Amino acid sequence: MSGVVSHSDLPDGSVVLTLIIDNSEPVEVGAFVRAFTSLAKEYQETFEKKGLDGRAEIFITQVRSGSIVADLVPLVATAFPVVVSHAAQVDQAIDFVAKWGSRITTLASGLVPEGMSKSDLRTFAGAVEAIARDPNASSIIEVATFEDGKREIKAAFRFSTAQARVVEKTIEGEFKRLEQDSDKTHHRKLMYFTRSDITNAPIDRRSGEKAVIPEISQNSLPIIYASDLAEERIKYEIRESQENIFKKGFSVDVSVQYRGDRPLAYRIIEVHQIFDLPDDDDEP
């Protein structure tokens, strides 16, 4: 957010997002700020995912008494030497409101949208906080355009106190689940290396190695050592053994670091056994 402008400063064709908080009790300033900044953050990240650069900005135009109304004006800059058309800006804003509404609706049903990260969860917790704290409130997100000084609504999404409170409970439950998954130890899982590194890494910091644990993920993920003993046993195989580390299997106890439902790294707790992997041409 970079400044304050008025509607009279907006050129014809301007696309505006409006955040309305219809409250029955005074709104705590911090909760309102989090509602506003959550919307702004999510909108800017949506720009970046569509190839629009990070310089896209959002300006407050006004906050009126009574119901709290804040207008957000996206100033679109692209990574290409072209101007984003008015129609494209309208479509982008409508798509954003549809996605925003879909995510809140899903969370309000008690489910977590696929691919939601911890950062996303924090964003939506901030978005609903002011409404959840009020016994009879609602929030509306609108897309509007201005032509000849007239405001025309193109799309809108509304949610209520009841929905906001379910969203909060869903997000709280998901954070607890992620913490439990992160703390959960997987015992005696087969691991094999896809990248090795002879140097030591600080305990509980990512090393230079990557490995696959097929029972958890088919992706090659970074390795973190939880103890000196686990690291030294594996480093011996890398530094001293005359055999190829990439043809070795390791039976390990491991916990997993996640972002949302996506595993990010393996934390090796204990190495139980090291053995030769079968060659590709061996009979099963």
| The pLDDT value given to residue 66 | 62
CB 273 within 8 A of CB 202: no
Q: Is pLDDT above 70 for 31? A: yes
Task: Give the lowest-confidence range in 65-69, 124-128, 215-219, 272-276.
Answer: 65-69
Q: Percent of the chain, pLDDT > 70?
A: 81
Write out the two tokens for 226: 């939880």
The tokens describing 236, both together, are 């011996």
pLDDT of the residue at 44: 81
Give the whole-angstrom CA distance, residue 78 versus residue 168: 35
In the chain, what are the domain boundaries? 7-181, 185-276
Q: Which residue has the tokens 């702004």?
A: 40
Confidence at residue 77, expressed as pLDDT on a 0 to 100 scale: 43
Q: What is the mean pLDDT of residues 254-278?
A: 87
Nearest to 222 by CA among 196, 240, 202, 245: 196
Domain 185-276: which topology? Answer: OB fold (Dihydrolipoamide Acetyltransferase, E2P) (2.40.50)
Q: State the Cα–Cα distance between residues 35 and 161, nearest whole angstrom.
A: 14
| pLDDT tens digits, one per residue of 93-119 | 899 999 999 999 999 999 999 878 888
Element (H, E) at 128: helix 118-132
Task: Give the separation between CA 90 and CA 93, rounded to whole angstroms.
Answer: 5
Q: Can you give the pLDDT at residue 239? A: 86
Q: Residue 69 and residue 197: Cα distance in Å, rounded?
A: 56
What pLDDT was estimated at residue 82?
44
The pLDDT tens digits for 5-27 are: 455 555 666 788 888 898 888 88
**What is the model's pLDDT at position 55?**
52
- Count of residues making up the chain: 284
What local confidence, expressed as pLDDT, does residue 2 receive?
Answer: 44
User: Span 128-148, mean pLDDT?
Assistant: 91
Q: What is the pLDDT of residue 89?
A: 79
> Which position has the higher pLDDT, 40 or 64?
40
The model's pTM is 0.62
pLDDT greater than 80 at residue 245:
yes
